[in-house]
């Protein structure tokens, strides 16, 4: 609610007789004659659609902020994973070329997982079973050694 001279304006939420929610913007302004208030002007606008659109934008912005934070967190974790994969391979492989090949295969596996999550219609809910079923063949095709999958 705000005042301008003698005017008062604001937004209110009402429930109609049909149990519908409406959002209204109102302005109340006194009308003067000879320095005295003789009438009051009441202006009311239905702003329900605008209000609901604003709420959707606020919600979308909050979701976007959470997603950006999640992306940054995942990037940090993925970089740490890559470093760990290289360190792990250094223990078991003797050839630099073999270390690079195995590490590339593992990074490609991570990229496939990322692509699947990114292409999901609703990124808030992902079926784990569907997720693993869809990657079984892709991950097997990336294996450089016949006895294990990266």
pTM (2 d.p.): 0.46
CB 96 within 8 A of CB 90: no
Token pair belonging to 139 = 């991950």
- Beta-strand (E) ranges in the chain? 2-4, 7-15, 21-33, 36-46
Residue 137: its pLDDT value, please? Answer: 60
Give, in words, the CATH class of 2-46: mainly beta
- d(Cα 66, Cα 63) in Å, to the nearest integer? 5
pLDDT of residue 143: 57
Would you say 117 and 124 are in contact if contact means Cβ atoms under 8 Å apart? no
Q: What residue ranges of the chain have pLDDT lower than 50?
A: 2-4, 146-150
Domain boundaries, the chain: 2-46, 51-142
């Amino acid at each position: 609610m705000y005042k301008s001279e003698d005017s008062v304006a604001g937004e209110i939420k009402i429930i109609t007789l049909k149990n519908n929610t409406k959002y209204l913007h109102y302005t109340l302004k006194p009308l003067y004659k000879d320095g005295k208030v003789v009438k009051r002007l009441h202006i009311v606008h239905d702003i329900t659609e605008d209000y609901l659109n604003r709420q959707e934008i606020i919600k979308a912005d909050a979701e976007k902020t959470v997603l950006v934070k999640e992306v940054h967190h995942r990037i940090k974790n993925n970089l740490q994973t890559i470093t760990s994969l290289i360190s792990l391979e250094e223990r078991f492989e003797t050839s630099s070329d073999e270390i690079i090949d195995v590490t590339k295969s593992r990074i490609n596996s991570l990229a496939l997982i990322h692509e699947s999550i990114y292409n999901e219609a609703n990124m808030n809910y992902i079926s784990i079973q569907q997720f693993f079923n869809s990657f079984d063949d892709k991950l097997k095709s990336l294996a450089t050694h016949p006895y294990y999958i990266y």
